[in-house]
Amino acid sequence: MPGWRRGDGKIEDIVEANRLLDEALGVGVRFSLACMLQSSRTNLNGCLFFQDQMKRNLNIDVTADIVRSAALQTHRGQNELYDVHYGSKVTTNVGDPDDYYMIALVPEFESWYHKATGAFSAAPDLAAELEQLARAQSQELDVTKRREMVHEIERKLATEAFFNIPFPWTFIFPAWSKVVRGWTLGSFPSQIKWAQWERAWLDR
C-alpha cells in the first residue's frame, strides 16, 4: 500500500510524494506547519518524529505548538485553530460500531479530533460514502449483514480514507487487569492495551 511500504517501495513512495507536491505547488515549493500537542513527553516525541520525517523526506518545516492544558487544546481543536494535531484519537469505550463511527464519520456527531481532518473537503465523495455506510450499518438489524457492512467500512478506512497518519501509541504500561483493588477498567477495554501484552511477550 503506498505510504506504508519498506525498502525500495518506501523510496518510491517518497519520490512520488515529492512529485505530487511539485505538481500541486510548483517544483521545489513547500510549506511549513505547526504540530499542536498537549504537553507530555510522549506527545512531544511523536511530534519530533513527525517533524524529522517531514523535513527529511519532503522538505516541509514542522514546528512544535505546545498547549499547556486539555481545556485549551479542546478549545483550539473545536475551533480548528491548528495545522495538525498529535495525540490519541482512539477511544476505549467501543462495544458497538456506532460508538466509533458516529464520532468519526457522521458530521453532526463528529468529535473535533475527526472533524478537522478535512475529509469532506479533501475527498467529499468518499467522506459522503463513509457517512452513508455508517448510517446504514447503524440501522441494520440483521447481525450477519451488519457485520459485512462494518467489514466494508473497515476496508475503506484502511485502504482508501487516509485522513489521519497513525503512529504507534506506547503510552499505556501493560500491567493492568479489569479489576484492580476495586477499580474497574470498563466494559470494553481497548484492543490496543492487549497489544501491549503481545509486545511484552515478544520482548521476553
Compute the average pLDDT of residues 101-119.
83
What is the percent of the chain where pLDDT is above 70?
75
Torsion angles phi and psi, residue 164, rounded to 5: -130, 155
Are 140 and 162 found together in one domain? yes
pTM of the model: 0.66
Are 163 and 176 found together in one domain? no
Are 198 and 151 found together in one domain? no
Does residue 7 lie in a domain region? no
- Whether residue 139 is predicted with pLDDT greater than 90 in this model: the reply is yes
Question: Measured between alpha carbons, how far is 162 from 18 in angstroms, rounded to an integer?
Answer: 17
pLDDT confidence bin for 183, thresholds 50/70/90: very low
- Whether residue 114 is predicted with pLDDT greater than 80 in this model: the reply is no
Cβ atoms 74, 111 nearer than 8 A: no
pLDDT, residue 91, reads 59
Mind listing the pLDDT tens digit for each residue in 57-91? 999 999 999 998 888 988 998 888 889 888 876 65
Among 70, 29, 35, smallest CA distance to 50 is for 35
| HSE, side-chain direction, 13 A CA sphere, residue 173 | 2
Q: How far is CA 103 from CA 42, 100, 188, in A?
A: 25, 6, 17
Among 157, 191, 182, smallest CA distance to 1 is for 157
Are 100 and 150 found together in one domain? yes
Does residue 163 lie in a domain region? yes
- Whether residue 174 is predicted with pLDDT greater than 50 in this model: the reply is no
Q: How much is the mean pLDDT over the chain?
A: 81
Mind listing the pLDDT tens digit for each residue in 156-173? 988 888 777 766 555 554
Residue with the larger pLDDT of the pair 90 and 26: 26
pLDDT confidence bin for 187, thresholds 50/70/90: low
Does residue 182 lie in a domain region? yes
Residue with the larger pLDDT of the pair 39 and 105: 105
Given CA atoms 77, 170, 196, 9 in this order, what sign does their dihedral have?
positive
Q: Which domain holds residue 186?
A: 172-204
Can you give the three-state secondary structure of 134-166, one letter per residue? Answer: HHHHHHCCCHHHHHHHHHHHHHHHHHCCCCCCC
Q: How many domains does the chain have?
A: 2
Are 102 and 161 found together in one domain? yes
- Whether residue 121 is predicted with pLDDT greater than 70 in this model: the reply is yes
